[in-house]
Amino acid sequence: MADIIKTATRDAYGKALVELGDINDKVVVLDADLAAATKTGMFKKAHPEKFFDCGIAESNMMGIAAGLAASGYTVFASTFAMFAAGRAYEQVRNSIAYPHLNVKIGATHAGISVGEDGASHQCCEDIALMRAIPGMTIINPADDVEARAAVLAAAEYEGPVYMRFGRLAVPRIFDEDYKFEWGKAVVLNEGTDVTICATGLMVNEAIEAQKILAEQGISAEVINVHTIKPLDAETILRSAAKTGAIVTAEEHSIIGGLGSAVAEAVCETAKPVPVVKLGVNDVFGKSGPAVELLHIYGLDAQNIVEKAKQAVSMK
């Protein structure tokens, strides 16, 4: 399998911004002293006149983004997920989301896979925080192809978007001609026994899990939920009606993220099905190599397999 391409979604973000800058003169990019890490540095190099470093002041950066957007610009504001959704939460809510301004928050280094920096930088609560804000769109791409497509699509959409990118290089899943459909969950593999709803880097693990389950005689349907809000409940519920059980998989707290969103949608139907959530189990992360940490926190194919069996047994 030496030919698998591995790229971090943050790299795809940086490259997509450069592309956008080439074609859209309304695009402005902001960063808070992390341009090398968030990859907005690529845009800075290509389009220096449209890039502004706000320094280590994320709250102010969100306000700057709001002011620029209110003046007609399409603004990408970038920092780590912890500081975008955490520190600047209220600025995102009041200055950006309340007026529904055209700001795209490029939040990199989300989740446990930040790795060695440890718990202070491993944000596993950002989706929960952003989901609670009215009118916020949340996109968590699975690979670099989807990340690029999502960034380009976000620039065309009018309103606030929270885009979640990772630090860790992840395997490419999609072909270069992959079409990103705004808000539409993608059924990657059809199955009949259990539905695996995955997002971000867990999509690749879900695909692996499906193969393992197939060997054990369990037919799993895999859905890539790249957009967590608004949730494509239709696609998920249609699958649930068919399989009768759901597993959710995300590199995020089991509280408030994809698992919660799916459970909320499923339990408000006439025939709810079991929903078993795989995610960061209401704990803080810790330092370590990213891949090792993902296994330590159970964020891998093997744990999806176990949860899938559990879900099937609950039918």
Q: Which of 65, 154, 245, 261 binds another protein (CB under 8 A)?
A: 65
Phi-psi category of residue 111: left, alpha or beta, with phi > 0 → left and psi -120 to 50 → alpha: left
The reply to whether 58 belongs to the active site is: yes
Q: Which of 19, 58, 215, 221 is catalytic?
A: 58
Please give the structure tokens belonging to residue 273.
Answer: 């099905």
Binding status of residue 50 toward another protein by CB under 8 A:
yes
- C-beta of 103 vs 258, nearer to another protein: 103
- Please, are residues 66 and 113 in contact by the beta-carbon 8 Å criterion? no
| Phi, psi at 225, each rounded to 5° | -95, 80
List 4, 36, 67, 181, residue binding another protein (CB under 8 A):
67
Q: How far apart are CA 18 and CA 131, in angstroms?
A: 28
The residue among 25 and 292 lying less far from another protein, judged by its C-beta, is 25
Residue 83 binds another protein, judged by CB under 8 A = no
Binding of another protein by 73 (CB under 8 A): yes
* Contact present, 131 and 138 (Cβ < 8 Å): yes
Contact 194, 247 (CB under 8 A): yes
152 φ/ψ angles, rounded to the nearest 5 degrees: -65, -40
Q: Are strands 220-224 and 194-198 parallel, antiparallel or unpaired?
A: parallel
Task: Tell the smallest beta-carbon distance from residue 182 to another protein (Å).
Answer: 23
By CB under 8 A, is residue 195 in contact with another protein? no
Binding mask 111-150 for another protein (x = CB under 8 A): ----------------------------------------
Summarize as ranges the residues that interact with another protein (CB under 8 A).
Answer: 28, 49-50, 52, 54-55, 57, 59-60, 62-73, 90-91, 94-95, 98-100
Active site residues: 58
